[in-house]
Amino acid sequence: MTEINILIQADPELLPSMGNPGDAGYDLRSNEDLVVPARGRALVRTGVSVAIPSGYVGLVHPRSGLAAKHGITVLNAPGTIDSGYRGEIAVTLVNHSDQDFTVTRLDRIAQIVFQEYAKVNFISVAQLPGSQRGENGFGSTGVA
C-alpha cells in the first residue's frame, strides 16, 4: 500500500474516506457552505492538501449519485492533481440542472483516485504502425 501524507487544514472529519471496502475512490468533502447556481459552477474548497508521491497522480472524479440525482458533476473531470502540488484541493462543480444546488460543509462532493502512471519517451517516426482500428475515430465502432 502506498502512503500519502495529508494535511487537514480544518476538521479531522474532512479526511478523505472510502464509502465501501474495495472502492477505488476516496470521498472528498466540502469545507464550506455554498450554492452552485442553476446552469452555473462553483469552486468548492475541501480543506485537504496532499503530498502525492512521484510517479502517482490524484484524479478527481464526480460522484455518480450527485450527477444522476441533481445534475452536479466535476467540470474538468477528471481533475488532475500532480505530485508536485501542495495546495488545498478545490473542486469545480458544475450544475447542469435548472435549480440551484446547496452544498453544506462536510457533504461528499467528489472522489479522488490515486493512480500510478508511466513516464514515456516520445520517438519521432515517419509513420505509425498499423492497427485494426486505424484512423477511424468518433463513433467508428457503432452504437450497439
Query: Taking the alpha carbons of 117, 118, 123, 127 in that order, is the dihedral positive or negative?
Result: negative
CATH code of the domain in which 102 resides: 2.70.40.10
141 pLDDT more than 90: no
1 pLDDT more than 90: no
92 pLDDT more than 90: yes
**Partners of residue 45 on adjacent β-strands:** 90
CB 52 within 8 A of CB 13: no
Residue 63 lies in a domain: yes
What is the span of the domain harbouring residue 70? 5-116
Residue 126 lies in a domain: no
36 pLDDT more than 90: yes
How many other C-beta atoms are found inside a 10 Å radius of the C-beta of residue 136? 10
pLDDT score recorded for residue 110: 98
Closest CA to 12 of 29, 34, 32: 29
Q: How far apart are CA 42 and CA 44, in angstroms?
A: 6
Does residue 42 or residue 143 have the better pLDDT? 42
Residue 56 lies in a domain: yes
Closest CA to 60 of 17, 98, 14, 91: 91
pLDDT score recorded for residue 135: 82
**pTM score, two decimals?**
0.86
Residue 65 lies in a domain: yes
Closest CA to 114 of 46, 18, 13: 18
140 pLDDT more than 90: no
Residue 136 lies in a domain: no
Quickly state the pLDDT bin for 131 (edges 50, 70, 90): confident
The length of the chain is 144
Residue 124 lies in a domain: no
pLDDT digits (tens, 9 = 90+) for 64-90: 999 999 999 999 999 999 999 999 999
Residue 135 lies in a domain: no
The arithmetic mean of pLDDT across residues 130-141, rounded, is: 79
Overall domain count for the chain: 1
Mean pLDDT of the chain: 92
Residue 128 lies in a domain: no
115 pLDDT more than 80: yes
